[in-house]
Structures are given as C-alpha cells and as structure tokens.
Structure 1
C-alpha cells in the first residue's frame, strides 16, 4: 500500500464507528485504532520496504504533510489511465520502454500501451516535459483514472 491508499483508509475508518482495523499484505502490516474521546487517532505501519516502518502521528499532522506534498507537486502533470486494462511500458516483450524516468517527452508522444479486450491502446502525452516518476509496474492491471506517471512541465 502506498501513502495515498493508507491516508484514504484512515479517513474512511475515521468516518465510521469502527474502533480498530488491522491489515496484513505480504510484508506490510497496518494497524489503525481510534479512541472514543477527543484524543487523536494514531496509525502504525510496519513495512520492510518502506523505511518509515513505524508511523505514529495524529491524522491532522499527516494530512498537513500530504497537503504540503501536493503544493510542491503543482508543476507536475499526472498521466491517468483512460481505460481499465494491462499497462505495458514497451511495444513488445524485450523491447526498450517507450519512456524512462528522466526522459524528455513531447505532446503527442507515446508513453505506454494499455491492453483492453485484446486491443492495444497507445497512451500519448498531453503535455511536453520530463518524466519524473512512473507509478505502475510493467504488466500491472490498471483502473480507469489511475495515475500512471508524472511529467514535470
């Protein structure tokens, strides 16, 4: 789970009467609990891949950090999946990827392919800029509207 998914989970749990939730996926363990009073809600995340292994901060503090990160990323364009399908970074197996982090791209340039119902759909860049981050792995199933990559204009 990434930080965005964890934040959404926290906010969803906070709106319910559920007092405690524990989730385990592979090497990630998330435990969320809230108190009945006006005390802040705390989150604990244990993940061997993420160096922030134990996070225990009030939700308000975490939301402030997320808002700050959003402000810092204002000059970034997020490429989102227009369809549900399988993400491919290259035109064929073994071929070089269409783009890599650090590549300069032009508007209209092919960024990736999303296969839906045996049809290969080329996803083209809507802006010119530099690829800053690729958010999905090759051959990963993507949802409609899911962020695929970030381009700094």
Structure 2
C-alpha cells in the first residue's frame, strides 16, 4: 500500500462515524483513532478536533508493549478492546496471581472488532498483579499485568 492509498483510506474513514479502525496485512499495520490519545505515536490532524494515529511497521511475532516499574514489568494493552482472562467462559484463566509464565505464554485475549488477539508474555516471570477484570473494556496502553522477572 502506498502513501496515496493510505491518504485515500484515511479520508474514507474520516467521512464515517467510526472512532477506531485497525487494519493489518503482511506489510502494513494501520491504527486510526479519532479520539485524542496521550501517546508518543506520530499523529496527523485530519479536521478541527479529529486526530488520526498512524503507525506503519512490519508485523512482529509479539508487539505487546512492556514497561519497567521498580523491577516489575507492566504489560499494557497494545490495542483497545474487551479483556478476556480465559479462552472460553467455562475455561480456567490463562494466568492468575502467583503463576510463573514463560516467554511466549498467553496471558489473556483482547477482542477488537470481533478479532481475538492473544497477548503473550515477553519475559519469564511471576504474575504479581492482574490489573483488569474479565470482560472489561480496556484502552490502548492501559496496564493489564504486573510481572516480576525471574
């Protein structure tokens, strides 16, 4: 997808009442939000108070942002969606406080636009705190878990 096609897509999205759109393909990841976000991502002003967040990057195996806080890693939501702590309503949670997780273990699922996105651990560690409840709507960059590295 070239820059002109992206500009046309942004104009089409801006003319709708959608507030958030995420598009991923083999060579492009595009997230567009009309709500202002306090992130360090590049933003492009579309209309008076509309803001478009445009991120172009190659897809990666796991793009879950992790930030450190007093020797704890905080796993934050890489997208806005509904938080699920288990693969199905009658199944056990992926993780709970006290569990030891390996790098790549599934921590939760975030559902966005009917797509289920597995959020995995980037480190080996112990779950210290689960910061959200099952079926809770989470925002982009909202903290989900605190993990003590092992």
Shorter chain as denominator, the TM-score bin is: 0.5 to 0.7
2:148 match: 152
Instruction: Tell me the TM-score normalised to structure 1 length.
Output: 0.52
Residues 50-90 of structure 1 show CA distances to partners (whole Å, capped at 9, x for unaligned) of: xxxxxxxxxxxxxxxxxxxxxxx511000000000000000
Flag structure 2 segments of 5+ consecutive residues without an equivalent.
1-68
2:123 match: 127
| Bigger helix share | 1
Flag structure 1 segments of 5+ consecutive residues without an equivalent.
1-72
1:113 aligns with 2:109: yes
Supply the distance in 1 between the matched residues of 2:141 and 2:122 (Cα, whole angstroms).
15
Pairwise CA distance, 1:92:
0.2
Supply the distance in 1 between the matched residues of 2:135 and 2:148 (Cα, whole angstroms).
24
1:76 match: 72
1:89 match: 85
Supply the distance in 2 between the matched residues of 1:80 and 1:138 (Cα, whole angstroms).
15
Pairwise CA distance, 1:94:
1.2
Supply the distance in 1 between the matched residues of 2:70 and 2:102 (Cα, whole angstroms).
19
Pairwise CA distance, 1:109:
0.5
Pairwise CA distance, 1:107:
0.6
Supply the distance in 2 between the matched residues of 1:105 and 1:122 (Cα, whole angstroms).
15
Name the count of aligned residue pairs: 82
| Bigger strand share | 2
Instruction: Tell me the TM-score normalised to structure 2 length.
Output: 0.53
